[in-house]
Structures are given as structure tokens and as C-alpha cells.
Structure 1
Amino acid sequence: MKSISYTIALALTLWASAAVGQAPPPAESPADTAVLSAAEAATDSLQKPKRQNWLTRDYPSPRKAAILALAIPGGGQIYNKRWWKLPLVYGAVVGMGLTIDYNQSNYRRLRDALELKRDTMEHEFSGTSIDNERALRSLRDEFDKNTQMAYVGMFLVYTLQALEAFVDAHLKSFDIDDDIGMEIKPTLDFHGLSTPTIGLGVTIPLNRKPPTLPVAR
């Protein structure tokens, strides 16, 4: 009986060890795909520079500001991000446009009235204080002159807003050094063998180079 018991115990021991040896290894936790994809996207964004278009390349460019202002009134101011100047530009353009329309419409009215007056026909101003050829001709010529001057004004407004955008883009790229300023130093001047003269010297460092910064490692 003892041998049978020993045999059964030995068999159970071998079976348990075999079961333990055949048990599958614990499953590893899968990597978080969302974290990996975010890390890969961040790496790609750092490695690949952002693509620049015609507007963002070489910003601010005075030439591009002038081109946009000549193409569209206020385009140069938008390029320079001077939004507060747009009401001024469009106010001047609209104002000159209304001036042209007012003078041109009155010129046409007086022109037609003068032609009818010469043909001894009724016209818009019949029976008024200007119902004569001389007055009609004088007013017609005056409104004609004002119309031409308004066209010149429109051209000047159009040109000035482009010039302003060009200059403003130049000023945006103009670097002003904080260290620019006058320096007052004592001076000692020698004039031959005479007694040296003590005075004050003023120095304006216009060509001073900015200090070089250490390279980050």
C-alpha cells in the first residue's frame, strides 16, 4: 500500500510540474496607439518645416505690400496687418468717388441745358437766375474742371495708399537697437605744446553691432 501511495504522490507531483511548465506566459499590455501616433505626429511636425506661400515668404516685403495696394485699395495695409488704416483708405477712396460723381452729374445737366438753350428750347433751368448762355457755360466749365480735379485726387489717393503700405513694410523690418543712444564722455585735447583742453565729447553709436549670443547646446 505504501508503494502505491508513493507512486500516486509521485504521479501527482509530475503532473503538477508539467501543468505549470505548460502554462502560457502572461500577456503583455499592448502599447497605447493613441500616444504613439501623437508622438509620431509631433516628431513629423518638428522635422518637416511649414510650407510657406507667396504672402508669408519674406514677410514683411515692401514690394509685395505695394503690389497688393496697387491691385486692391487697402490690400497693402491688410498685408502689413494695419487693420485700423482700412477705414482711412476706403474713406478717402469713397469720398473721392462721390466727389467725381457729383461734379460729373452736374456737368452733364448743365451741358444738356446749354445745348437746349442754344436751340431756344426749354431746359431744366428755364426761368431761373442762370437761364442764360453765359451763366450755363460758366457753371458747366466749372463743374468740368472740378471733375478733372477729382480724378486727379483719386489718382493721388490710390498712389499714396500704395506708397504708405510700401513705407510701412520697410518700417516693420527696421530694427531699432535698444542700446542706441548718446554717450557723453570726458575728452582731453592736445594742441601742439599748449596746455591740454578738457571737455566733453558726445558719441552716437550708429554702427554698433549687437552682441552675439551663445549657441544653445
Structure 2
Amino acid sequence: MNKIIPISLLFFLLGTVSLFAQAKEETVLVTKDTTKLQEIDPLTPAKAAFYSAILPGLGQAYNKKYWKIPLVYGAIGTSMYFYLDNNKKYHQYRDEYKRRLEGYSPESGDFDFLSDDRLIAGQKFYQRNRDLSALFVVGFYILNIIDANVDAALIQFNVNERLSLRPEIYPSDVTFKPNVGLTFNYNF
């Protein structure tokens, strides 16, 4: 039984690698200067999102943004820690309340000074915090996928010397006072 899990995981990983072994179409962006060719792969954002969905942080590694991986694991790990901690405390309050309903007297423990109302309030508090922590885990997981997808799409964004944005000071036509503005230029 213990050997089945690693073997099935190995087959799963080999199956996902073979999905990407297909030939891809290459589109080439040709500029005026034919010495510079830039390859555009339209599947790059989808691959990055898929990798991040399989293993959080793998899409960031695919995009070569290695500094984001600790942030991903820090956010998901912190949320998971609070989920587990609140779940443990919720079960402690719930178990003590159930013991009191069954007729057991409070032992010299952590909850002997609490009334039944306080135990119910503690259950509700930790249950709410547990549920919020679960939402944060899911939210950071989805944010990880979205970040990998958007980052992969922006890597292919065309930025070259022909695009420019610069401040400019020009005189007003009526008063001849200087005006400040931004100019967006695209040279053909």
C-alpha cells in the first residue's frame, strides 16, 4: 500500500510531462531591423498557470521569478498554520462542551473556569477564524495561479526603443505660460 502512492505519483508526473512534448507553432515578430527576432509563444501564460496549479510556486519558477516563490509559500503556509491552529482550538472547546453535556464535571484543566456560554462563544470564535483562514488559503492559491499567468503574459510584452514616454514643457498658445505634460511617442 505504501509503494502504490509514490508509483502513482511518478506515473502522474510522467503523464503531465508528455503533454508538453508536442510540437509547437512558432510565431516570429519581425521588426524593421531583421537582425532582432523575438519569439512569441501564445501558450506560455497557460503553461505557467498550469504549473502553478499543480505545485504553488512552480509557475513563478517557470517565469524565472524565483524571488516570488518564498512569498507564495509564506502566504499559503501562514494561512494554513492559522487554519490548523484555529481548528485545534475549536475542537478543544467543542470537546469540553460535549463532556459537560454528558455530565462530566470539569477537571483541573484549561477550561474548568469557563462557563458553558463561554465555551459556546469560544467554539463560534475559533470556527469563524478557521473558516476565514481556509478562505485565505484558497485565495492565496488562486492568486499564485493568476500571478504566474499575468507575469508570463507580460514577459512577452513588446518594449523597445521605439516606444517612449517623456515629460515635456510647452508654452500655452494664449498666455505663453509654460505648461507641463506627458508625451507618448511611437516611431515607425
TM range (shorter): 0.5 to 0.7
- Kindly indicate whether residue 116 of structure 2 is the aligned counterpart of residue 111 of structure 1: no
Matches within 5 A, 1:118-137: 118-123=101-106, 125=109, 128-130=112-114, 132-137=115-120
* Identical-residue share of aligned pairs (%): 26
Q: 2:184 aligns with which of 184, 191, 204?
A: 204
> 1:27-72, CA deviations, whole angstroms, 9 ceiling, x for partnerless residues?
xxxxxxxxxxxxxxxxxxxxxxxxx946x98287111111111121
- Greater CA radius of gyration, 1 or 2? 1
CA contact (8 A) 2:96 2:111 kept: no
RMSD: 3.3
SS at the partner of 1:204? Answer: strand
Show the counterpart of 1:63: 46
Sort the Cα spacing of 1:150 and 1:82 in 2 relative to 1 into closer, same or farther, 3 A.
Answer: same
| Counterpart Cα distance in 2 of 1:104 and 1:135 | 17
Q: 2:78 aligns with which of 89, 95, 99?
A: 95
Q: Give the paired residue count.
A: 150
What's the TM-score, normalizing by structure 1? 0.58
CA contact (8 A) 1:65 1:169 kept: yes
From the two aligned structures, give the one with the greater strand fraction: 2
| Counterpart Cα distance in 1 of 2:119 and 2:169 | 75
| Counterpart Cα distance in 2 of 1:208 and 1:59 | 26
> In the TM superposition, what is the alpha-carbon distance from 1:129 to its structure 2 partner?
2.4
**Aligned AA for 1:204?**
F
SS at the partner of 1:81? Answer: coil
The runs of 4+ residues in structure 1 deviating greater than 4 Å are: 123-127, 183-187, 196-203
User: Unmatched 5+ residue regions in structure 2?
Assistant: 1-19, 27-40
> 1:63-108, CA deviations, whole angstroms, 9 ceiling, x for partnerless residues?
1111111121111101101112111111112111111110001111
Show the counterpart of 1:41: none
| Counterpart Cα distance in 2 of 1:114 and 1:82 | 49
Matches within 5 A, 1:141-180: 141-179=124-162, 180=164
> In the TM superposition, what is the alpha-carbon distance from 1:128 to its structure 2 partner?
3.1
| Counterpart Cα distance in 1 of 2:66 and 2:43 | 15
